[in-house]
Chains A and B, each alone.
Chain A
Amino acid sequence: DTGVSQDPRHKITKRGQNVTFRCDPISEHNRLYWYRQTLGQGPEFLTYFQNEAQLEKSRLLSDRFSAERPKGSFSTLEIQRTEQGDSAMYLCASSFLSGRAHEQYFGPGTRLTVT
């Protein structure tokens, strides 16, 4: 399977705990995006990378959130001191920066439940 992969697919954690999610993009894609989606809403942008450089962070990304893409391949998203409001589907997408071809393809998502 050469699509975007995410791990884990589901995570249940207690409030106050830290969680980390991983995303592996499509191999030739150099841009990687993180979005968050709650019930009844469209995905909301969190942050994105071009290769290993983090280009932009959304105001949704409080200081409890951090993301890395250390070697320009996979990325991790960490949430510290989780809150119940962090419960959502965390989606990763990737694209290839080349001319006008910049379609973003999503992974299966990680569903986070904070109890």
Chain B
Amino acid sequence: QKEVEQNSGPLSVPEGAIASLNCTYSDRGSQSFFWYRQYSGKSPELIMFIYSNGDKEDGRFTAQLNKASQYVSLLIRDSQPSDSATYLCAVSPSGNTPLVFGKGTRLSVIA
């Protein structure tokens, strides 16, 4: 059973701080890793993807991947109240295949 684990939260951070969201996965052969943001009642929105070990930055977001530790994280710099949402970690076991999702971490950015 391929699993993706996330802390459900809520994770509360003050406005302007760095939010750090973490995810572990069970399938060592997993190829692709994604972070989705989901506002309440809405569908998931893709915000970051990473395929290789290391860091990938896009604006205020940085995704970090460590395949040896089976760990992927998302850093949000200068957190804004509009970043308050559930963040879903998703893993593709074999590249372009169905995603396995974690349950998500609820982030609350306090103004």
- Residue numbers of A with Cβ under 8 A of B are 31, 33, 35, 40-45, 48, 56, 58, 89, 91, 95, 97, 100, 102-109
Contact = CB atoms under 8 A, between A and B. Distances in A.
B101 to A, nearest CB: 3
Contact of B43 (A41, A48, A107): A107
Given A42-B4, A106-B43, 11 more contacts: A42-B88, A42-B90, A43-B99, A45-B99, A56-B98, A95-B96, A103-B49, A106-B46, A108-B42, A108-B43, A109-B43
A40 B38 CA distance: 11
A44 B95 contact: no
| Interface size class, chain B | 20 to 34
A56 B99 CA distance: 12
B32 interface: yes
B54 interface: no
Given A42-B88, A42-B90, A42-B104, A103 B98 contact: no
Contact of A97 (B32, B34, B92, B96): B96
A115 B86 CA distance: 28
Interface of B: 4, 32, 34, 36, 42-46, 49, 51, 88, 90, 92, 95-96, 98-104
28 contacts: A31-B96, A33-B98, A35-B99, A42-B90, A42-B101, A42-B102, A42-B103, A43-B88, A43-B101, A45-B98, A45-B99, A48-B98, A56-B98, A89-B43, A91-B43, A91-B44, A97-B96, A100-B51, A100-B95, A102-B92, A102-B96, A103-B46, A103-B49, A105-B46, A106-B45, A106-B46, A108-B42, A109-B43
Contacts of A100: 32, 51, 95
Contacts of B98: 33, 45, 48, 56, 58
A104 B46 contact: yes
Contact of B44 (A43, A58, A102): A43
A44 B1 CA distance: 13
A105 B47 CA distance: 10
B12 to A, nearest CB: 18
Contact of A40 (B32, B43, B44, B103): B103
